[in-house]
Amino acid sequence: MQCPFCENIEDKVLESREIDDGRAIRRRRECTACRGRFTSYERVEEKPVLVTKRDGRREQFSRDKISAGIFRACEKRPVSAEMVEAMVDEIEKQIHRQAGREVLSSKLGELVMEKLQEVDKIAYIRFASVYRKFEDISEFVKEIKEITVGG
């Protein structure tokens, strides 16, 4: 590892620690030439998951897009940022476990709705209304009946 201070390539590892639930390693290093200390991170390189859209286009899975959609649905609701991050983490884990290298956008939308329904019914309805493209009030009523009777 090249020292960021003197560019020497010799260093020694002072400490190693797992982070991010074991998915990465943080190493404290010391340059053998200038004694400068710095931190490096090692993470497994994962192949990207592709999302297949309704029209057949493919795009790379974006954690940020999922997070933004959930935050929008949870706006002015008693759902903390930590809860949103936990939902996104769980969705991302499920996608990586189940999907292989491609996932249908419909599957992704269903996973988001499933998590939202567990956390906040209003946020779920908000998300579902956009995701399922509700056209009139009867679709809202039908969905509300399903979650109050079936859930």
pLDDT reported for residue 48: 82
Amino acid at the residue 33: A
Bridge partners (DSSP) of residue 42 are: 25
Q: How confident is the model at residue 58 (pLDDT cuts 50, 70, 90)?
A: very high
Average pLDDT, integer, range 19-38 = 92
Q: How confident is the model at residue 150 (pLDDT cuts 50, 70, 90)?
A: low
Please check the confidence at residue 111 and state whether its pLDDT lies above 70: yes
- Closest Cα partner for 120 from 65, 68, 62, 76? 76
Average pLDDT, integer, range 93-100 = 79
How many C-beta neighbours within 10 Å does residue 53 have?
13
Please check the confidence at residue 103 and state whether its pLDDT lies above 70: yes
Average pLDDT, integer, range 83-107 = 87
Bridge partners (DSSP) of residue 40 are: 27
pLDDT reported for residue 97: 81
This model's pTM is above 0.95: no
Amino acid at the residue 68: A
Mean pLDDT computed over every residue of the chain: 89
What CA–CA distance (Å, rounded) separates 143 from 151? 11
CB 92 within 8 Å of CB 48: no
Q: How confident is the model at residue 138 (pLDDT cuts 50, 70, 90)?
A: confident
